[in-house]
Amino acid sequence: MDTRRWSVDKIVDNLQSYPQIIQASDQLIKNETVAFPTETVYGLGGNAQSDEAVSKIFAAKGRPADNPLIIHIAERSQLEAFVESVPEKAEKLISAFWPGPLTMIFNKKVGALSDLATAGLSTVAIRMPDHPVALALLKKTGLPIAAPSANSSGKPSPTTANHVWEDLHGRIAGIVDGGPTGVGVESTVIDCTEDIPTILRPGGITKEQLMEAIGEVRLDPALQDSEQAPKSPGMKYKHYAPDAPLYLVDGERAFMQKLVSEKRKEGLSVGVLTTEENKNYYDANVVITCGSRADLRTVASGLYDALRQLNHENVDIIYGEIFSTEGVGAAVMNRLIKAAGHRIITN
């Protein structure tokens, strides 16, 4: 398949009228797959009402069919067409965080969407992205668009169009290049079908922000690696992994350097995933930074790009630092633990 690439300046006016947006939306209307930027990561979009389009998403990514997709909408008025009801707490979250990096789980309206998109579940995950290119594309199609991250399943999510090209060139109809994304980790997913809303995936909106808006929320026990069927993307399978095995190190810098030195003596090429504060400390084959420990938002934004850089260096093993789980750190550590396959070395 010939993958087209459309460049769009996200700060221009009347994006819906731009030829690139029109051409990309035409592909989506024809049930083809198109990658596009959101404020979190690039998504791989397809018509959520079409089994044909949704099947193409799963095929392009190599994604397990029991892993549900997030449905993207452009207008609050679209919501009732796809869900049975909107609980009061969900309305408060919509007012506070839409458009934005928050996905909400609702009881779905039967027959409104492809069952493939929801993996046969009785619920559906929906969000409204906070990115002008994404919103222009969604509005132009007039469709609900299913859009998981636009990467090969299990690999680091894409935060630039080049990342998408690396993984999916020749497997999708096109890529809308709107520049690098901002937040860098995927949206927070919260289940609004229960009396106490439950965080299924930490992300760009923190637990603290959610509690400020609606009061009590809880964390799903499935975040501790449950084998139950996932209500949310990212709950069941290994995700975000670089090519080389990643080990997280819970200990002092000297302990991690000891691990690095031991592997190098064995003749292995060792990569280190660290922060700006510590980049000059480690003696390794490759040292890659993902942001500043003083501002974990920069770590969230730079994490996936750092993991992809390590892939390009062809290292044999990677050691990575751990972070606080306060605020957006919860999302950072969730992604790192999944990328490492739960491999954590403690001093």
127 is in an annotated binding site: yes
Would the annotation count 103 as a binding residue?
Answer: no
Residue 55 marked ligand-binding: no
For residue 153, say whether it is annotated as part of any ligand binding site: no
User: Is 280 annotated to bind ligand?
Assistant: no
User: 76 among the known binding-site residues?
Assistant: no
Report how far residue 271's alpha carbon sits from residue 164's, in angstroms, rounded to the nearest whole number. 23
240 marked ligand binding residue = yes
- CA-CA distance, 196 to 189, in Å (whole number)? 14
Residue 187, annotated as binding a ligand: yes
Task: Give the 3-state secondary structure of 2-36.
Answer: CCEEEECCCCCCCHHHCHHHHHHHHHHHCCCCEEE
Please give the annotated binding residues for ATP, written as ranges: 63, 67, 123, 149, 157, 201, 240
Please give the annotated binding residues for L-threonine, written as ranges: 40, 72, 127, 147, 187
Please give the annotated binding residues, written as ranges: 40, 63, 67, 72, 123, 127, 147, 149, 157, 187, 201, 240
